[in-house]
A and B are shown apart, each in its own frame.
Chain A
């Protein structure tokens, strides 16, 4: 009995440590920095200066203090609830968007072995799909509960958009499962540490370059960020589905969007960029492990950067263009990719 307790306690403690180290420190940390970085980065892209006014005395730190100032502002602002028949749903919606975004990180392997994965499940990627598709509920219910026409139209647009791209994103990743023969993210990451013909890293992006483009596009569309942000479309819909949100409700929505950026980066890294593996580097020495974790974080941040740059480079698509892209271009290409992958795999097995 005593022994069982100890084992359980150990597991709980380890999980908490991993959670603190990966989710709280890395994911939340990055998301927080992104709130500042997005504004500053976009400003520099567009020949502006960006936020630089928050200060303590004469210290401005290039606007970095806005990360501190924002929470204070958000916490002290009026938390407005519109005249709606569903005030409870209105309150609940930000959480419904926030929690799934955060929970998904449980299965992401950020280092070698079970130690560096919060929960090792053989269903890894399915879990990610299942949970992250819950995300749409937060946005749609928030839009519905706002009792506002702009929100409603925005909610309608994103629900259609997110569900359409869900299909394409799922199919685009199937090729990866076929190649590595596993749904377990840790397995997939480990397999990508091998070398192809002795010098090319066996990364997913090498086997499935088309799938990578599809994945990134669909993931950005899932996250409803520009160029797929018709649900927000500030030129037409004020702020679309989150028009009525203010103070912390808005902050939580915004933060979950940033968390999802990190998530897209992490999943993309795990499936396409070799996960935590570094080509040609194997072993259990502590410095190798540190390097591998660092490599994972670096690759994830690279994808985060790519998403940021795409978001501030491309103009917003029209709504019908988005639907056409999703159903008439993304989906057939994903299917075609799947078929070709299957044929090639069969030939390789025969050979």
Chain B
């Protein structure tokens, strides 16, 4: 059904804008006076001191999840790098002694300046190895190089996943998250 748009037909006095300007000035001045003496209208969240709670679906900095023996879950399958629309994931694969694990990343770099935090990598990953649920904002830095998150950096936020995966150390354990909250999906 077509939406009916109610057009305003301001009269000449309103359109001439002269009285309206005074009304506007009166309004802003009143608000100024109120806020000068009382704080109850003020909506500012003083960010580093007070934070709004993030929604559970907040996509923050990536983290690489771990196996039970704290090695990285990633098998360097490149699915995330392929899915990434920003082309910001660089993975170098290496061999692993464990015959049940095909590969592991020897380098896993994410250029956080290019990343658009779309979460496609997380969705593409067959191993629950990469997630964006760390709840961490990308931390500002003085150089561009510092915005490249390497494998160590990404694993430092990681925790053990309960999703099952091949390999010798296959086991189930309780899932923990970087911020101690449930990353329930």
Contacts and interface: CB of A to CB of B under 8 A. Distances in A.
Chain B contact surface mostly = helix
Interface in B1-57: 18, 21, 24-25, 27-29, 31-32, 35-36, 41-44, 46
A7 B22 CA distance: 52
Contacts of B36: 44
Contacts of A44: 31-32, 35-36
Interface stretch (A45-53, A93-101, A117-125): A45-53
A239 interface: no
Given A44-B32, A213-B18, A49 B25 contact: no
Given A44-B36, A213-B18, A49 B29 contact: no
Nearest to B42: A47
Given A44-B32, A49-B46, A309 B25 contact: yes
A10 interface: no
Interface string A41-77: 1001111110000000000000000000000000000
Interface residues of B, number: 16
Nearest to B18: A213
Interface in A210-247: 213
A221 to B, nearest CB: 14
Chain A contact surface mostly = helix
Contacts of A309: 25, 28-29
Interface string A298-329: 00000000100110111000000000000000
24 contacts: A41-B32, A44-B32, A44-B36, A45-B28, A45-B31, A45-B32, A45-B35, A46-B31, A47-B35, A47-B41, A47-B44, A48-B42, A49-B46, A213-B18, A306-B25, A309-B29, A310-B21, A310-B25, A312-B28, A313-B24, A313-B25, A313-B27, A313-B28, A314-B24
Interface of B: 18, 21, 24-25, 27-29, 31-32, 35-36, 41-44, 46
Given A47-B44, A309-B25, A314-B24, 9 more contacts: A44-B32, A45-B28, A45-B35, A49-B42, A49-B44, A306-B25, A309-B28, A310-B21, A310-B25
